[in-house]
Structure 1
Amino acid sequence: MDLLRHLRFFAAVADEGHFGHAADRLGMSQPPLSQGLRRLEDQLGVTLLTRGSRGVRLTTAGADLLPRARALLDGSEQFLEAARRQRENRGAVRIGVIAALSDSHLAALTAAVRAAAPDPRARTVITSTASTAELVDEVARGGLDCAVVHHPALLGDLRAGQVLKIPRTLLVPEDHPAAGERTTLRALRGLACATAPRAHGTPAFDLLVDTLRGKGLDPDFLPAPGDRDALGAVAAGRAFALTTDPQLRSPGVRTSPAGEELALRVRVIWAEPGPPPDVRSAIENALAAA
């Protein structure tokens, strides 16, 4: 018996409460639909529906099994959709990045990978954004070919490229007394720091805390995985933040250089065999030059 087909019969009749209406919805005649439901009930050994002059109603067993039937049907659709994506994206390079990278960095590494890919099929680049912890897990399980993550990070058995330092710009509320072309961190006391939550990458978060404390600053922290969240907190006068986009501008926000000690440190990670070395080098060179 085609279980999924017969479960579709069951769900349609349960929704419509009428065999004729369900048959119309499924694009079939009523007799094979009724026969199919009988076959399903015989196979399961339970009665799913009661048939009467007022229509069709779920039995106790039917009411219990209907959500499970829907879950199986939904799962089959998701499976087919995932298979379709795999088919269409066969050979594509799948790259994950952290939200701390700017849009220009993402565009630069995508263009570089397309230019470096030896196989024409690999010139299709699929990017996704997630936390360092999520990207490490995704690379380890094979869902991504490689990823750009915070350094330091817990990588397990994954391989990693060189540590790259990407300059960052300090974002400060425009009306804060410390706002200016050369803002000192010590002058930002009283403001929180808007940055990615510690759970997104514990070692990198702890390094930022230590660096700020070394500069005489021990702020509270507001969760801000990317620039949009950070800008909102800074413009509201609640926090300062760091961005890798030197061109980032927003009303209510002033910018100044953050200094080398607060540069974003990242690495490209992969699981063996990973993408071709030329692709990994292209990503590193693009990030270094962007």
Structure 2
Amino acid sequence: MDLVRHLECFVAVAEESHFGRAAARLGMAQPPLSQRIQRLERELGVRLFERTSRQVTITEAGTLLLAEAREVLARSESFLAAARRIRDGETGLLRAALTPDVSGETVAALLADFRRRHPGLELELRELSTAEQLAAFAAHELDVGLIHHPCDVTGLELGPVLHRDLGVLLPRGAVAAGLDEVPLAALTGYDLVLFPRDSAPAVYDDLLTACARGGYTPAAVRHGRGTSFVRGLVLSSGAVALGPRDTHLLAGPGDTDPDLVWRPLAGAAPAWRHSAAWPKGRGDAAVGAFTDAATHALRTTAGARFEPSARPLHLRPASEYWL
């Protein structure tokens, strides 16, 4: 028995006190309505209405059950409305991820924009490298993320590709620190601090290739991901680090850090390329809201720009780096 439909019939007859008017209200014929009321009475084991040729009167049992029936119908409508919101991506849980290089300002801007767009949706935001996000997508543990390109995007859909120019973080006493823009060749003699290669292998190889093409082959590559650790390596080990200005490895804004400076790179500087990504066929309204919020946050807080050219996103042959 369809309990909800039978209760709708019960409430309609109780409020109309007439089978004909109740049937018209429900958009059905009178005989099926009478049959549903009779079946409901059999299921409940109580008589809901007293019927005569002239009128229909609700019984005492019917009166006692009427409020409960209305509450069940209200809960049913609330349940169906919630299901529609979940189906349309307007509520529920969205599992999302950002790469570790995203600054605190960008994270805050993204969260504020997303909450404004979808106040009823819970956002579970994690910090995962591109490789970790790809593994989470494959394991069905992630709904949407912000990834670095190039990477293996098989089975994924992508949002707009954004471009963040890289600069160099170096000791304030370095000769190159006095330049407005630093040629890569001017970094010769310094070790290079990069994120671990397994975090984003193709991006790692691209950066080393760009450095080699620009005349800089580091004597050693040191690996670090946390801000404090990278900062310590640059300060103490004759190393430099590449990153966008907004990574906030400096102790103060602009050039107020007493120990380190960030300078843009001269010429055709390497860049980081990002986009939101999600499994194919899973791009609902919530994923769209996250993509829009991430794109807007990167553009307004990190100086990201839309990709200036249609560069390929596919992977190139694996290697430590290539020329």
- Measure, in 1, the Cα distance between the counterparts of 2:141 and 2:203: 23
Q: CA deviation at 1:167?
A: 3.3
Contact 2:136 2:142 in 1 (8 A): yes
Alignment of 1:1-290 (within 5 A): 91-117=92-118, 120-122=119-121, 124-180=122-178, 181-219=180-218, 220-246=220-246, 248-250=249-251, 251-258=258-265, 261-271=269-279, 272-276=281-285, 277-290=288-301
Contact 1:133 1:201 in 2 (8 A): yes
AA of the residue aligned to 2:242: L
Q: In the alignment, what sits opposite 2:70?
A: none
Q: 1:177/1:268 Cα in 2 relative to 1: closer, same or farther (>3 Å)? A: same
Contact 1:176 1:237 in 2 (8 A): no
Q: CA deviation at 1:285?
A: 2.1
Contact 1:140 1:158 in 2 (8 A): no
Q: In the alignment, what sits opposite 1:54?
A: none
Secondary structure at the residue paired with 2:282?
coil
Q: CA deviation at 1:215?
A: 0.8
Q: CA deviation at 1:128?
A: 1.1
Contact 2:231 2:249 in 1 (8 A): no
Q: 1:96/1:165 Cα in 2 relative to 1: closer, same or farther (>3 Å)? A: same
Give the TM-score normalised by structure 2.
0.56
Task: Give aligned-pair identity as a percent.
Answer: 27
AA of the residue aligned to 2:171: P
**Bigger Rg, structure 1 or 2:** 2
Equivalent residues, number: 198
- The Cα offsets for residues 84-141 of structure 1, whole Å up to 9 and x where unpaired, read as xxxxxx8132221111221212222222222222xx331x322211221111111232
- Measure, in 2, the Cα distance between the counterparts of 1:210 and 1:167: 16
Contact 2:130 2:199 in 1 (8 A): yes
Secondary structure at the residue paired with 1:92?
strand
Contact 1:196 1:224 in 2 (8 A): yes
Q: CA deviation at 1:212?
A: 0.9
Q: 1:257/1:216 Cα in 2 relative to 1: closer, same or farther (>3 Å)? A: same
- The Cα offsets for residues 242-285 of structure 1, whole Å up to 9 and x where unpaired, read as 23344542342122123663222111111131442233222212
- The Cα offsets for residues 124-165 of structure 1, whole Å up to 9 and x where unpaired, read as 322211221111111232222211111111122122222111
- Measure, in 1, the Cα distance between the counterparts of 2:152 and 2:198: 12
- The Cα offsets for residues 222-251 of structure 1, whole Å up to 9 and x where unpaired, read as 112243332111111431112334454234
Q: 1:236/1:155 Cα in 2 relative to 1: closer, same or farther (>3 Å)? A: same
Question: Gaps spanning 5+ residues in structure 1: where?
Answer: 1-89
